[in-house]
Amino acid sequence: MKEAEISYAFEWSAAIATGRDDVDQDHQKIIDCLENLRNADAGADGHAVATLCLTQLSEHIVEHFALEEKIMDSFDYQDKDEHKHAHTQIAHEFRKFRVQAAEDPDIRQELLTFLYEWLVVHICDIDKVMIAQMNGVTIEKLWDQSAKHQTDMVIEGAWSIAAQVDGMSCRVSQTGLAGQGSLGEEGRRPPSHYRRIAVASERLLNLVALANTRVERYGCDARQLHRLLCLKSAIVRSAGALSTLAAQRVIGYCAHVLSGKYGMPVDAGAILAFHMDKIDGCVEIAGGINALQGPVRDAVTQAREMVRAVAAMGTTTMVLPDLKQPAMRPHGME
């Protein structure tokens, strides 16, 4: 499975702060645009949403590069030419793929993942150095002061969220699904505790991915490594919670379709393919279907069975594995 298919959120973290407010605010705006672009295919008109997001992203990039280059020109910045060249290169790459990204969801996902990874590396390796030089801080002192501290911030943030996930997961396991109604109950929305676990889980996955990147780049001490290893079980539980939430959305939507009240939506295949991709990504993180806890495995299995039932109703109008076009998300999938 391609990395872009796994539902990581693109979000701002204090670990990539440069220490200058206007620069950090611009970086945050760009990351918010990337997150909106990531979710474009889940809406009613993926092409229109993606086009708007790409336009906003283009505007933010132009404004941000102008701000940084004004800062570069304001002091004796040794790496000014190289920094400006890096801006020119990424702006060229973005313009080259922008039109294709608006039309093709696969190119769109690859572009936004590339831009996010480029931005994080660019901030850590170039922007922070520029701000440090402007403030009279040597590169050696910058790395000594910030690298370990920021890695600590990321790992501690992940550790805190993992504790929240563990606490919520424990309450769910004690309560179980008893009294919650059948997973296939028509129109039933996922229980609120699964929603809370899913939100926390997505943040946990994102922070651990960032922590791993920092450890690979800067190294870590024994305490940091121990904490990262301890987070593994929480990540698996997080993937299970996300699997449950996504499966219940699929089950609820399929129940509406199978009831016959709404007929067969033209875009049902694309909607179900989108959500089953999310489920498959989470199941892969968890270590496969057999690694899931019983209730989670049952929910995923039921979702797949109901998708097959919906496909059987509309075999003349849709082929689920091949539909990749953006689609409307009707009642029951919000």
pLDDT confidence bin for 292, thresholds 50/70/90: confident
> For residue 245, is it within any domain?
yes
For residue 327, name the pLDDT band (cuts at 50, 70, 90).
very low
pLDDT at 146 over 90: no
Of 87, 110, 137, the position where a domain reaches its end is: 137
Residue 290, classified by CB atoms within 10 Å of its CB into exposed (0-12), middle (13-18) or buried (19+), is exposed
Residues 251 and 169 in one domain: yes
Q: Please give the Cα distance from 138 to 78 (Å, whole number).
A: 12
* pLDDT, position 59: 94
- Report residue 111's pLDDT band, with 50, 70 and 90 as the boundaries: confident
CA 216 to chain centre: 20
197 in the same domain as 247: yes
Q: How many CB atoms lie within 10 A of CB 287?
A: 12
Residue 254 lies in a domain: yes
- Domain C-terminal end among 78, 110, 137: 137
CATH number at residue 85: 1.20.120.50
Question: Are 289 and 231 in the same domain?
Answer: yes
The stretch 156-183 carries a mean pLDDT of 62
Point out the least confidently predicted range of 38-42, 191-195, 208-212, 216-220. Answer: 191-195
Residue 121 CB partners (closer than 8 Å, separation 6+): none
End-to-end CA distance of the chain: 25
Contacts of 122 (CB under 8 A, 6+ apart): 86, 90
Full domain range(s) for residue 75: 3-137
Domain assignment present for 328: no
pLDDT of residue 175: 56
Percentage, residues of the chain above pLDDT 90: 19
Structure confidence by residue, pLDDT tens digits, 12-70: 877 788 889 999 999 999 999 998 888 876 666 778 888 899 999 999 999 999 999 99
Measure the CA–CA gap between 213 and 215, rounded to whole angstroms. Answer: 6
Region 216-235 average pLDDT:
78
In angstroms, the CA 151 to CA 49 distance is 35
Angle at 262 between CA 257 and CA 263, to 5 degrees: 75
Say yes or no: 117 and 159 in one domain: no
Q: Give the range with max mean pLDDT: 37-46, 199-208, 242-251.
A: 242-251
Place of tokens 């920021």: 150
- Residue 69 is predicted with a pLDDT of 96
